[in-house]
Amino acid sequence: MHIAQDVPLAEKNWFCTGGKARFYAEPTTADAFAQALAFARERDLPVLVLGEGANMLVSDAGFAGLVIRPQLGEISFQGDLVTAGSGVSMPSLIEVCLANNRIGLEEFSGIPGTVGGSVYINIHYFQFLLHHFLVSARVICAKTGAVSEVDNAWFNFGYDTSRLLAKEHFLIDATFKLKHVEPLQSAFARGRSVEIIRHRRQRYPYANTCGSFFRNFHAQEVPFEVQGKKICFVAYYLESVGVKGSLRVGNAVVSHQHANMLVTEPGATSDHVVQLARTMQQRVFERFGIVPQPECQLVGFDAYPLMG
């Protein structure tokens, strides 16, 4: 298991910002993954498992531990089940499934990230969540390196969350139950995939962003109602305070396409993104008395950089 040192992380995340990883590994097997975890345990290092970096902001100081970027890339089929390694990109998995007449995952077309990162955060698009399709998985224990097979219930999935967020286990591979269909139905699903991607690119930025930076509010977090309903969509509040397409800090700006998406320009730093996000939080708090909280994963910061 090769362990590299002082590896830049800016080129490995979608914001294209952040410092270096003190140590860095790309295991291609479960055994190599276990060896990398053993390396970290022996040196008492924090561990970050990185996919495509599509939903994270890395501190400008970098990460003072071991970054593991799994390269487990196998895909296999058994009837209506497909098993994919944690390092497989979701767009690649969707394409392979459609080519083999398995449909269902195309609902997540246009969402970047790996299988590992997608299961970790339980990606969603409208009414579809990834856990609707996952039936089982293999995970590796951070403390022991032991690999276990687990079922859907083990993950304790929720909106933007799973048991993996505790970082006590990491994904090796996941098995999804799809529909095995005739080629004509698969072609229809492929057309739907293309349309979803077209729709997303019209509505959202698709480069130098983590997607939605803040999560939606939970109902109990919203102390008032609008027309008899609690409005939990964070974009409603961000639109109301006028940040969309205009608010900027350094080379980080709120997208003109969506009020909850931050975009970096050349020369941006993670601190620019942090200060921009804090300003957005402050404006919402001053007007509504509630504080948006990040959906984006914050990595390598010595102290929590946003408003609590």
The domain ranges of the chain are 4-68, 75-203, 219-299
Among 290, 80, 37, residue whose Cα is nearest residue 175? 80
pLDDT at 51: 95
Residues of the chain with pLDDT under 50: none
- The pair of three-digit structure tokens given for residue 286, joined into one six-digit string: 């001053």
pLDDT at 251: 98
CATH 3.40.50.10490 fits 75-203, yes or no: no
Task: Decide which of 3.10.450.50, 3.30.43.10, 3.20.20.10, 3.50.30.30 is the CATH code for 4-68.
Answer: 3.30.43.10
Alpha-carbon distance 115 to 91, whole Å? Answer: 10
pLDDT at 26: 98
**Buried-exposed string 281-305: b where 16+ CB fall within 10 A, e elsewhere:** bebbeeebebbbbbbbbbbbbeeeb
pLDDT at 160: 86
In terms of phi and psi (left: phi > 0; alpha: psi -120 to 50; beta: otherwise), the region of 77 is beta
Among 147, 153, 143, 154, residue whose Cα is nearest residue 173? 147
- Classify domain 219-299 by CATH architecture: Alpha-Beta Complex (3.90)
pLDDT at 303: 97
pLDDT at 142: 96
Alpha-carbon distance 161 to 296, whole Å? Answer: 12
pLDDT at 228: 87
Alpha-carbon distance 104 to 126, whole Å? Answer: 14
Yes or no: say if 123 and 138 are a contact pair by the CB < 8 Å rule. Answer: no
